[in-house]
Chain A
Amino acid sequence: MSVVLEVDRVSKHFQARSGFFGGDRRVVRAVDNVSFSIEEGTSLGVVGESGCGKSTTAKLVLGLEDPSAGAIRFEGKDLVGMDAAGRRHYRKSVQAVFQDPYASLSPRMRIGAIIAEPLITNEKHSADTVRARVLEMLDLVGLPARSADLFPHEFSGGQRQRIAIARALALSPRLIVLDEPVSALDVSIRAQILNLLRDVQDRLGVSYLFIAHDLAAVAHMSQTIIVMYLGKIVESGEARALARTPMHPYTAALFSASLPDHPDDRREEIILSGEVPSPMNPPTGCHFHPRCPRAMARCAQEAPTLREIDGRRVACHLFD
């Protein structure tokens, strides 16, 4: 299998100014030294609490932000310094579905025009071809053909997310960035959309970068999972193994907080104390140590590095 996207030690830092004259400059490390790769036809899940850098990662991959350091390579070519033709190819190959289905469709455009927009913008087609493609996409996501002539406000949240998926698929991309695609939907609709996404992947062989805070959804969708905390990867590995036997205390806490598969299942609940610290002023050493139930003296001083253990990558002093 070939690697579609490779993110190589990428960081994104933002300058934040505070103080009376804005003289007090601080650097927010939204994404810090993050590496991962996505193979063709597979899904990579990214989980973490809000503010951990998930969405910034999505923006970096989509080219909405440029990385401060590191390289993002698509089909082996670096995004920064890509020529115009390469950029165009990348735009066509990478599409996105965002969280809020009420904000992601242009309210004054008909569904047909919304789905056709990426197509019309990037390729030259006759009106008939475009129309046929739109109807094909609507059919693929399970919406009736007459939807093409309606406006977004005539659809429910789940239907809108289907439209957003149809739009993302219109150019037959190789990678779709799913930034919390089901978080805003009713629980009853979530499974439908997740199954649709899996179905589409099986049929078209598209890769997903699946970002969510819903662990069950991520475990259900992805082959590989990355757990992020304050801009850094704390653990990554094969999805099922990571969900069943989490190694990093943070991963363990996250998975203990999600609902068990069966209501009779009993398991130890790990309750994290405190809030996520401000990324402007992260704790010393391991960023997680003030909330970690298994913190040691060393954790406050020394930041753990990501190391390979049993086919997984973990950043924790417990495993030294």
Chain B
Amino acid sequence: MSSLPPVNSPLLSISDLACERDSRVLYQSLNITIEAGDLWHVKGRNGAGKTTFLRQLAGLHPVDEGEISLLNNNARVIYIGHKLGLKEQLTADENLTWLAGLNGSSTQQQRYIALERVGLRGYEESVVAQLSAGQKRRVALARLHLCKADIWLLDEPFTSIDQQGIADEQAWLNKHTLAGGAVLMTSHQDITLAQVKVLDLSHWALQCSTNEHGDIV
């Protein structure tokens, strides 16, 4: 992790970001700077735009208003969304092979170690279709240990993971942020780490908006 930037150096700046869906403004004038070492917990009720926000940061959702700029051009981003991006017919190891191949290459030993870290020792050659929902998510999360990235964008990484797994995950988040990485994640669970910063999207939503007839809704 020596390649990670020093703590508190800015990685990503978000200025005046807005998101509109179905003529509903989800959030607007959102200004924050993501620094190395930050752990942002993105909160909001269902439909507040948490997933869209992360997808905008990843570059998967168009940014109509505002600007997202990567301040460190070498910063690498990993996005793990609701859809895990795993091929059901392939084994855990094969899935990691191609996922890691997108950013470089990996050895079998590295992939096995990554799978061991997420508690899937002995499942390396299991076909993903036969794994449970929690195990599938663990396979996807194993990428965090395999590909060295500065910014982790995690959409609901605790979903279907057991309690011990959630504790382990928080330990990784802690280690990654202390080493100078940054994490933005959504979750309906509380994160117990001290350095967590909360980004509540409802603060950036309009308190009231009007529909096309001019009525306040």
Question: Is the A/B pair a real complex?
Answer: no
